[in-house]
Chains A and B, each alone.
Chain A
């Protein structure tokens, strides 16, 4: 007994030491991260470095937060004099802050509405409107956990039926019809949705409402309607763990997080399309621009009903917005460099690698770059 007590004491001491070590290493790395030039020297390869100096502040979409983090880190290596801040406040708050003139760019899951465009933008020259570019494309995968099945084909109506609680067994005719040769079990379906409000839910239900308005009758929503039942889970990780933890579960998450789970290919035109970066970028190209906007406003109405072969319609598209004509000309120069980096092949790849977004297509890049070049 005495020995155990002593051992406990010893362990306590060890734990304390380990704790000290953790704190010390945190403090040390904290310093290192701030020393951008040092990081650059360690990189080995000499990089072309700009001599821009200044700070750009932005806020908005939290869906884009991981991408913004990656962009900022990479951008600041190329531009050691520039500090970019991005506060993931949520899209609504982000747009409001831009309208108040508190930020010089913003990220948003939805484009400017007409009321906002009719108002004033204090950061921009009076009477000029902001640009907006759909340069954050994030495919949403429909994932499921079913023994031995890694892919299923479904049309939009079936997906809507499952998430609306109307199709509740895997052996249902609607699923079997599009999956000949697949041995579907007689098992209850548990549809998992986000219990927190999220842009992922909004875009997913926007798809359901567009392709199956008679099944999914409540339109695009962020808070799940309780009459549709199903199971709620917190955040992307929550949905992933609920789907992988259950049997016969199905859910929707950022495609980059789908892991080893089975995924659904949805019906587009005459074929079935699984998610992929190219397929996600393709649907943005195939979708019409919102009418009556300025030439530098690429607000896009994502065509969820697209029949373009190889386009994947369940995507979350976020916009980056900024002034076309800044009151502060120095700011314009910084944002031009920042925007150019965001749409560049390198910028899009950085986000794809660290945050799992889908890089934009070359044609969208050309259009976006032309708009960014005009920033004054």
Chain B
């Protein structure tokens, strides 16, 4: 009797909290819907209005280099950041002594707090000039690889520099997430591996990495999401052109969608503004697709991970 009674009692606090939580949850959907609706509605005049000088060859011809640039820069960033992030996470979770690991953990979190405009400045004033001699060397010695071919930029403000800046920017969030996942590896799995005579590396290979695989994938996708949308640092560092170019050391680099909007919007007027918003819609779609693929991979892999 008393048991059923306690179950049905609802105090004011419960009601208020349940509703607050409900609204918090719904607000995410509402925000997303508002942004999507804004992008849709504002994109329409770009197609129905008078012809825009910038997109006289059609919308897709206009946006394609930027789509390419967005994806290309993010992929480079991810290629650099993922192994590094796994390394950092492994070191913090399994190698470093506890005190040092803590310090390292704080520093990684601190990296995440640096605003992107500062990364942009650092990219222009420090990283680009620093990397330029390396770029020259790469071009001279490995110029036969298409990626390193072409006339090397004299200032170092290239796609590869942007990729590295982006990699550093997405590193903290990736490292933090992967570290948390690695720390959750069941103690028993690790000890079992060690008991079977595995070295530390073998233990990590057998117990930690398989367990953390989905975590690594979600971390990579989170990093990719941030890299795709990064605006300020790219706008400041990259020397852009409206071309599709695989070479990463030249002055003509495909701009990213977000950076292009940031660069062109201040002086845009009429339905050129709508054209820029339409490219924003494309970016929105790309980000959504990336996230969906990530979800799909994670759900497919979940049963193979050590989590269950």
Chain B residues near A248 (CB-CB < 8 A)? 154
A242 to B267, Cβ gap below 8 A?
no
B124 to A229, Cβ gap below 8 A?
no
A232 to B240, Cβ gap below 8 A?
yes
Tell me how far the C-beta of B74 lies from the nearest C-beta in chain A, rounded to whole angstroms: 19
Q: Is B213 an interface residue (CB 8 A)?
A: no
Q: Of the candidates A93, A198, A232, A245, which one forms a contact with B129 in the assembled complex, judged by CB atoms under 8 Å apart? A: A245
Q: Of the candidates B99, B129, B251, which one forms a contact with A1 in the assembled complex, judged by CB atoms under 8 Å apart? A: B99
Q: Is B128 an interface residue (CB 8 A)?
A: yes
Q: Is B269 an interface residue (CB 8 A)?
A: yes
Instruction: State the CA gap A1–B155 with chains docked (Å).
Output: 42
Q: Is B236 an interface residue (CB 8 A)?
A: yes
Render A178-202 as a binary contact track against B, CB cut-off 8 A, 1 for contact. Answer: 0000000000101010011111000
Q: Of the candidates B103, B125, B154, B240, which one forms a contact with A195 in the assembled complex, judged by CB atoms under 8 Å apart? A: B240
Chain B residues near A249 (CB-CB < 8 A)? 154-155
Q: Is B146 an interface residue (CB 8 A)?
A: no
A229 to B251, Cβ gap below 8 A?
yes
Q: Is A230 an interface residue (CB 8 A)?
A: yes
B157 to A233, Cβ gap below 8 A?
yes
A234 to B266, Cβ gap below 8 A?
no
- Interface footprint category on A: 20 to 34
**A94 nearest CB neighbor, chain B only:** B269
Q: Is B288 an interface residue (CB 8 A)?
A: no
Q: Enumerate B241-260 residues with CB–CB distance to A below 8 Å.
A: 241-243, 251-252, 255
Instruction: State the CA gap A249–B251 with chains docked (Å).
Output: 12
B129 to A196, Cβ gap below 8 A?
no
Q: Of the candidates A96, A195, A197, A198, which one forms a contact with B239 in the assembled complex, judged by CB atoms under 8 Å apart? A: A195
The number of inter-chain residue pairs (CB within 8 angstroms) is 88
Q: Of the candidates A190, A198, A226, which one forms a contact with B153 in the assembled complex, judged by CB atoms under 8 Å apart? A: A190
A232 to B239, Cβ gap below 8 A?
yes
A188 to B270, Cβ gap below 8 A?
no
Q: Enumerate A223-252 residues with CB–CB distance to B below 8 Å.
A: 223-224, 226, 229-234, 238, 241-242, 245-249
**A4 nearest CB neighbor, chain B only:** B103
Chain A residues near B269 (CB-CB < 8 A)? 90, 92-93, 96
Chain B residues near A223 (CB-CB < 8 A)? 54, 242, 264
Instruction: State the CA gap A1–B103 with chains docked (Å).
Output: 10
Chain B residues near A308 (CB-CB < 8 A)? none
A245 to B124, Cβ gap below 8 A?
yes
A226 to B242, Cβ gap below 8 A?
yes
Chain B residues near A8 (CB-CB < 8 A)? 106
Given known A197-B268, A234-B236, A246-B155, contact A241–B124 (CB-CB < 8 A) = yes
Render B92-119 as a binary contact track against A, CB cut-off 8 A, 1 for contact. Answer: 0000000100010010000000000000
20 more CB-based (< 8 A) A-B contacts, given A188-B151, A197-B266, A248-B154:
A62-B266, A90-B266, A90-B268, A90-B269, A188-B154, A196-B264, A196-B266, A196-B267, A197-B263, A197-B264, A197-B267, A226-B242, A226-B252, A230-B251, A231-B157, A231-B251, A232-B241, A234-B235, A242-B157, A242-B239
Using a CB–CB distance below 8 Å, which chain B residues touch chain A?
54, 99, 103, 106, 124-125, 128-129, 151, 153-157, 235-236, 238-243, 251-252, 255, 263-264, 266-270
| 25 intermolecular pairs with C-beta atoms under 8 Å apart | A1-B99, A8-B106, A62-B267, A90-B266, A90-B267, A92-B269, A92-B270, A195-B235, A196-B264, A196-B267, A197-B267, A198-B267, A199-B267, A223-B264, A226-B242, A231-B154, A231-B239, A232-B240, A234-B235, A234-B236, A234-B263, A241-B125, A242-B239, A246-B154, A249-B155
